[in-house]
Amino acid sequence: MYYIGIDLGTSAVKLLLMDETGSIANIVSREYPIAFPHPGWSEQDPADWWAAVCDGIPALLDGFDASQVKGIGAGGQMHGLVVLDKNDAVIRPCILWNDGRTQRQVDYLNGVIGKDKLSRYTANIAFAGFTAPKLLWMQENEPDNFARIEKIMLPKDYINYKLTGVHCTDYSDASGMLLLDVEHKCWSKEMLDICGVQESKLPKLFESWQPVGTLTAEAAQTLGLPADVVVCAGAGDNAAAAVGCGAVGGGKCNISLGTSGTVFITSDTFGVDKQNALHSFAHADGGYHLMGCILSAASCNKWWSEEVLHTTDYAAEQTPITADKLGANDVYFLPYLMGERSPHNDPASRGAFVGLRMDTPRAALTQAVLEGVAFAIRDCVEIARAQGVKIKASTLCGGGAKSPLWREILANVLGIPLTLPQTEQGPGYGGAMLAAVACGAYPSVQACAEALVHAKSTTEPDAALVEKYNARYAVWHKLYPALKVSFAEMEALQ
């Protein structure tokens, strides 16, 4: 038997074929474009996602018996606003998670409606990337489009709709819309009133492992799959990655170094960050989690290497960064290339190199990029620690986790061991695992994780290096407050 995991990312969809033992039989990837119609804006055409899935799944199944595929599960980029009309046609391009156009709407929600009310209604406050502020932006700036809305969906939910014909979402992904009462796992009537949206325009809610339907005849024919393939609700990419890395059940942590960076802390019980700097969301295992999200992580290294240095040989750029240079870099980098979410909630913030001298070598800037992302991750960890959450170790996933140097830097910046899972395909693997649970192969998400997820290697922190990075972090941590006003002034000149 096989299960397909879909990782609907920001730059590409990664498709994974997993057998019943948890072994990965094949992986296929298909890229699609991102549009930046205005500085700080970020959009995609949902048709590109579906086209990539339709092209990728037959390639994924090439050489395999498609009749043995029993289930499909998706992990997807969160917060994106997909709106459909009465004919289920896409009304406008999806406004993505890293789009910063909604600052005025965020200010209205947090300042006029009030953070206390938002937290009471949804367990969270407004951030620029969340879905609800985007609905308010549409209402204000595209009233004709807003009036045509019949269904509001998230990116991976659109794929599930194309697969099954069912308008659905899961609790983990819905948590990031600022429309869900996370504690009680139902749509917040107060938030729907604030956004001028009827509950009938929202998809049906499911737990991540629950089946939402089977393939439509059209989807089955297009993909070359049996029509009785079960599709589960799936999860937001970070919750799916946590499942794929074994961060299931209370007291676990998973860190992702993908396009964005996340700190994902699991809990069996509902809880809210009193500072409202971390998100309080439902988890794909039926529990809850706190999550800090930095908008630019591995994407910072991609930008630096490819756009500035014009190279894709990341390893070569990191080779000169020898052990003696760790904890001794005098160049600092703020990784806010798309603004920042956790903990600053500031779409106007920008990237910056600080500390350059005439003799600063190229490698010092590369090192600063890796360290700057690690420091930003630590910002999120420190917020959790301030709430009394003890993080003694973490699993690690995402493209950035492939770098041994970056793993070493991050382990010492955080002062905790970081474990790579044997299978380094977080969201896609988690999606396939959720599909296996949906098909009855395992009685629960936790049982599935215990059976399938195994450690590959662990990077331990070094006490002396941890101390050096503590001092560097103390300096780095003061840079954003020092530049915050300047960032706002730059934004005003746009």
The DSSP-derived string for 330-358 is: --EEE--BTBB-TTT-BTT---EEE---T
Residue whose structure tokens are 């380094």: 424
- Continuous segment of H or E residues that includes residue 155: helix 155-164
**Would you tell me the crossing angle of helices 362-386 and 404-414 to the nearest 10 degrees?**
40
Whether residue 85 lies in the annotated active site: no
In total, the chain counts a number of residues equal to: 494
CA 457 to chain centre: 23
What is the sign, positive or negative, of the torsion defined by CA atoms of 372, 374, 377, 378? negative
According to DSSP, the β-strands at 2-8 and 230-232 are: unpaired
Q: What span, in angstroms and rounded, lies between the C-alpha atoms of 276 and 115?
A: 8
List, as residue ranges, the binding site. Answer: 78-79
Binding residues for substrate: 78-79
Q: How far apart are CA 57 and CA 6, in angstroms?
A: 9
Of the listed 7, 99, 173, 237, which one is catalytic?
Answer: 237
Contact 433, 448 (CB under 8 A): yes
Which SS3 state, helix, strand or coil, does residue 239 take? helix
Q: Output the DSSP codes for 263-324.
A: EEEEESS----TTS-SEEEE-TTSSEEEEEEES-SHHHHHIIIIIIS----HHHHHTT--GG
Pairing of strands 279-282, 288-294: antiparallel
| CA 46 and chain centroid, separation | 17
What is the secondary structure of 123-138 as a DSSP string?
SS---TTSHHHHHHHH
Q: Which amino acid is at 251?
A: G
CA distance 427 to 419: 17
Checking DSSP bridges between strand 204-206 and strand 168-170, what pairing results, if any? parallel
The three-class DSSP label of residue 201 is: helix
Indicate which residues carry an active-site annotation: 237
